[in-house]
């Protein structure tokens, strides 16, 4: 007989009043239930509270971590907003400083132009005075030279010496007046 057939024969005998090997005896069921209840009660009374405390502690840590993360995130958002505000203020300050620098630069340029214009006017005025002084000096030198030449020429023409200083001075002055009149008349005709 095969093991399957033996098991089937045992089952068939159990139906006839023989003990079924698949069903435990009543006393085994009773003591198994008592032991299971004792272990369950010990587990519920001693082990479960520790598990629950550990789980509660972990839950509190997780919730605290989430709250802390939310707080840090809110602080980071506040810091970012403050950074953007400071950046905007710094940009506005930089724009104001640039504008002030442009205004100040324009004022400096205008001041330097005015000073350069004054310096140029002063230089031109000084040059004109110097030219006038040199012209006057040249006129005086030319008068003296012309006077000498005119006196010599008049002496040759007249045939007499004009050694008298007063006579010489009158002749030179008359000659220069005639020269000025002829120059003015020539200038009037050209205009």
Q: What is the pLDDT of residue 141?
A: 82
∠ at Cα 55 (39, 38), nearest 5°? 5
Provide the pLDDT for residue 188: 72
CB contact set of 168 (below 8 Å; sequence gap of 6+): 147, 151, 162
Spell out the residues 6+ positions from residue 182 whose beta carbon is closer than 8 angstroms to its own: none
pLDDT of residue 152: 75
Can you tell me the distance from the alpha carbon of 81 to that of 75, in angstroms, rounded to the nearest whole number? 10
Q: Which residues contact 107 (CB under 8 A, 6 or more apart)?
A: none
pLDDT, tens digit (0-9, with 9 covering 90-100), for 15-35: 545 567 777 778 888 999 999
Torsion angle (degrees, nearest 10) of CA 110, 116, 121, 122: 130
Regions in the chain scoring below 70 on pLDDT: 1-19, 154, 158-168, 171, 190-191
Kindly report the pTM of this predicted structure.
Answer: 0.37
Copy the structure tokens of residue 132.
């006038």
């Amino acid at each position: 007989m095969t093991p399957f057939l033996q098991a089937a024969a045992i089952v068939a005998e159990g139906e006839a009043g023989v003990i079924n090997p698949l069903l435990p005896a009543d006393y085994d069921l009773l003591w198994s239930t008592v032991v299971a209840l004792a272990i369950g009660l010990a587990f519920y009374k001693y082990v479960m509270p520790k598990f629950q405390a550990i789980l509660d502690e972990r839950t509190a840590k997780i919730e605290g971590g989430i709250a802390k993360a939310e707080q840090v995130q809110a602080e980071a958002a506040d810091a970012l907003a403050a950074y953007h505000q400071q950046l905007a203020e710094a940009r506005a300050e930089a724009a104001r400083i640039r504008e002030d620098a442009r205004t100040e630069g324009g004022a400096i340029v205008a001041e330097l132009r005015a000073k350069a214009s004054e310096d140029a006017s002063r230089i031109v005025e000084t040059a004109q005075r110097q030219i006038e002084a040199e012209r006057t000096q040249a006129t005086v030198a030319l008068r003296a030279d012309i006077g000498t030449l005119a006196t010599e020429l008049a002496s040759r023409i007249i045939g007499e010496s004009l050694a008298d200083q007063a006579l010489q001075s009158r002749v030179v002055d008359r000659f220069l007046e005639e020269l000025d009149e002829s120059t003015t008349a020539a200038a009037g005709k050209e205009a």
